[in-house]
Structure 1
Amino acid sequence: MSKHLLVGLLSILLLAGCKKESLPSTASESTETIGRVTVNNLDFTYLNSKGQITFADNNDNLSSGITLRMKKDSIIWVSVQPGLGIEAARMKLTQDSVYMINRLHKEYAATDYRFLRSKLNVDVNFDVVQSILLGNYQAQGTEKIMVAENMQHIQQIRQSLLFDYFIGLDNSKLQQLNVQDNSNGNSITVKYNTFNKVGAVPFAHDMAAQVLQKGQVTDFTLKHTRISITDASLEFPFSVPKDYKRLTFN
């Protein structure tokens, strides 16, 4: 797992973009319609999941087991395990910090979202990452709400980002998220499929994303094979061995 792949994996988790399609007239400062959306967001205290990720771009092709843990609105913890119980990488995101370990190369990174914003050229934060991974709708900013093809279509503007949420009318779950950074054209399409109940709420066990960044396309999938929510505290271990080198990015 290379430095490029670690940054690429983070870009999948943190970047937001938009499918190229004909959109209705854009939301504006005068279209504040927050509160009219019907959605079944997943609510929880702690979440624990095991699954499989795939990652492919021009430089790397990865398929690996993954363990994902969350404390709502506080911590996202990811362990990447290619097989035989061996951990290749670990990531921990908090509200203000980002940590990564590359065990194969004995390297680590400790940074913040300002660093990622400068590298990814998009305004990202913990809440955006959490909502993308969960398939949750975020009420923010100014919105325009439409209904078409059995979907609620909610369009938002957040500074330079154009968000398009498509929520199914049958289960009130997010089916697709498109967000584009209008300042540079970077984009992603995230699709959510295979809805099974977690607690009392349908949850997408399959997530597929396609990222366009600086003209390069990256494909990413996350398939949950086992997922649960609980009020019992989970652990989020993150310690760096003394002989690991701290990563710097050019």
Structure 2
Amino acid sequence: MKENTLNKILIVCCLLAMFSCKARKIVAAKTSPVVAKHQSALALELNNIRSQQLTFNTFSGKARTSLNISGNQNDVTMNIRIANNKKIWVSITALLGIEVARAVITPDSILIINRLQDIYVKQPFGYIYKYTNRQINYGMVQALLTGNAIPSLLNDSAKMLAANNFVTLSGNLDDIIYRLMLDTSLKATQTSLISQEQGVSLQVNNSAFMPAGAQKLPSQIDINSVAKDKKIQVNLHYVKVDLNQPQDYPFTIPASYTPQN
């Protein structure tokens, strides 16, 4: 693995996305009986979708991962541990199982150790805005890693199409056009986010669902991101997943390492 690409890979592994979106605030207005009926059906379906998302206190997964950053290909293994809504811990290993990096991301901070160059990053969460849109948030990263629907797409302004037990939600959030497809189990299978104004897009495909206790999640998560002249492709293949098992999140910065701003 080339050292001059490692930092980019670390950011990608931690974030797995180039932008996110916030739900637009909707101004209350009088609605016709037809619209009210649609909104009632939508609210019921959104609750059903939320109830079918993967739930856990802790998540542990091992994924064989292929990363392509603007044509630069790298194959690594990612060990991912998550404390729900609190922290994401990632260990990245290359050939022969040698750890090349470790990271911890929380809603407030980001920590990265680069073992190839003996450097580290210790910054507030906003550090990631050097690499991505300012609207990205922790919840989106966690949702993508676990195959869940992005929470902000499950909003009461969405257009819903239900046919043959499949559901499609679509709409606009600020300047972002989105489309979310869910299967018969109401699991997210395809997510599309496009912002022509910002010149960015995100396409996510979830497939090959595997059991996780009494639940299931995609064993294959394929992410394609374009941000102007930057193209990133991430292919995660989970080979092992455990839910609600005791986890630790070790992270120690060696005294000899140099901080990177």
TM-score band w.r.t. shorter chain: 0.7 to 0.9
Q: Which amino acid aligns with 1:7?
A: I
| RMSD over aligned Cα atoms | 2.5
CA contact (8 A) 1:141 1:156 kept: no
Deviation at 1:141, TM superposition (A): 6.3
Counterpart check, 1:121 vs 2:133: yes
Q: Which protein has the bigger helix share?
A: 2
Q: CA 1:103–1:141 in 2, change beyond 3 Å: closer, same or farther?
A: farther
> Which deviates further from its counterpart, 123-132 or 210-219?
210-219
CA distance in 1, matches of 2:157, 2:130: 25
Match for residue 83 of structure 1?
95
Contact 1:28–1:142 (Cα < 8 Å) also in 2: no
Q: Which amino acid aligns with 1:125?
A: N
Unaligned stretches of 5+ residues in structure 1: 18-26
Q: Which residue of 2 aligns with 1:21?
A: none
User: Which of 61, 68, 84 pairs up with 1:72?
Assistant: 84
Deviates more, 1:7-16 or 1:207-216: 7-16
| Shift in Å, 1:152 | 1.1
Cα distance, 1:8 vs. partner?
Answer: 3.8
1:1-250 → structure 2 map (5 Å cutoff): 1=3, 2-13=6-17, 15-16=19-20, 29=26, 33-37=42-46, 38-39=48-49, 40-58=52-70, 60-137=72-149, 138=151, 139-140=154-155, 142-147=157-162, 151-169=166-184, 171-230=185-244, 232-248=245-261
2:182 match: secondary structure: strand
Q: TM-score by structure 1 length?
A: 0.84
Aligned length: 237
C-alpha separation between the residues in 2 aligned to 1:172 and 1:84?
39
* 2:31 corresponds to: none
Do the aligned partners of 2:57 and 2:243 also contact (CA within 8 Å) in 1?
yes
Shift of 1:71: 0.8
Q: Looking at CA atoms only, which structure, 1 or 2, has the larger radius of gyration?
A: 2
- AA partner of residue 95 (structure 2): G
Given the two structures, how large is their TM-score scaled by the length of structure 2?
0.81
Q: Percent identity of the aligned residues? A: 20
Quote the offset at 1:166 in angstroms. 0.7
